[in-house]
Amino acid sequence: MRTARIATTGLALAAALLAGTAATTAQAQAAEPAPGSGSASIPACSLANTKTTVQNVSRPINHQLLTVTNTSSERCFAYGHPHLAFDAAQNVVAVVDESIPQAVVTLEPGESAYAGINLSAADGSGTDGRYASVLRVSYDEGDGTESRARTVKLPKGTWVDSKAAVTYWQSEVDLALMW
């Protein structure tokens, strides 16, 4: 009887381990292009094939919208999230991990992807607050490397603090600004 109980416990632990591994694998694959989508021939969205803008939004408070538009004649993948730094800051802003989309955002020619930028803590809990005039934006190359940075002029009066964060690329504006 004791042997049966140990075997049952061992099987339950193995099943739980397999379920956890399957969930982790599914999460990792969700952020990859679909198999058979020709992803090997589709380039990452980069400095060479996009235009980047940033604008103020009325809601939510203390947010801006970063937009990347595919300016090429071929589709591109907006992998992961943009890497952002304000002015001459050495460190990039934090990423809102909860904003990971179900799949990599694919941009056809002329289409855009969006990332929400939370500039500062609404409750004043952020530190090192300052006005920023430019934003340095780098792209995920799709292989774990980061592109060279593009400098984008920020709207006048952009206030940032230590709570600044950015979302992953989203296919819709409202998805980018919900974080």
> Mind listing the pLDDT tens digit for each residue in 46-91?
999 999 999 999 999 999 999 999 999 999 999 999 999 999 999 9
Given a cut of 60, is residue 155 above it in pLDDT? yes
Residues 1-16 have a mean pLDDT of: 42
Of the pLDDT bands very low, low, confident and very high (cuts 50, 70, 90), residue 43 is: very high
CA distance linking residue 95 with residue 103, whole number of Å: 17
Q: Which residues of 108-138 are buried (b: 16+ CB within 10 A; e: fewer)?
A: eeeebbbbbbbbbeeeeebeeeeebeebbbb
Three-state SS at 15: helix
Given a cut of 80, is residue 124 above it in pLDDT? yes
Tell me, what's the pLDDT at 66? Answer: 98
Residues 126-136 have a mean pLDDT of: 97
The DSSP line for 60-120 is STTEEEEEEEE-SSS-EEEEEEEEEEETT-SSPPEE-GGG--SSPEEE-TT-EEEEEEE-S
Measured from the Cβ of residue 145, the count of other Cβ atoms closer than 10 Å reads 10
CA distance linking residue 42 with residue 53, whole number of Å: 23
Q: Please, what is the average pLDDT of the chain?
A: 84
- Distances in whole angstroms, Cα of residue 145 to Cα of each of 81, 139, 150: 12, 9, 15
Given a cut of 50, is residue 164 above it in pLDDT? yes
Tell me, what's the pLDDT at 144? Answer: 82
Q: Which amino acid is at 139?
A: Y
Tell me, what's the pLDDT at 48? Answer: 94
Of the pLDDT bands very low, low, confident and very high (cuts 50, 70, 90), residue 137 is: very high
The whole model's pTM is what? Answer: 0.78
Tell me, what's the pLDDT at 35? Answer: 43
- 77 beta partners: 44, 106
- List the strands of the sheet with 76-86, edge to edge: 105-107, 76-86, 130-140, 150-160
* Comparison of pLDDT for 164 and 11, the residue scoring more: 164
Q: In Å, how far from its chain's centre is CA 150?
A: 16
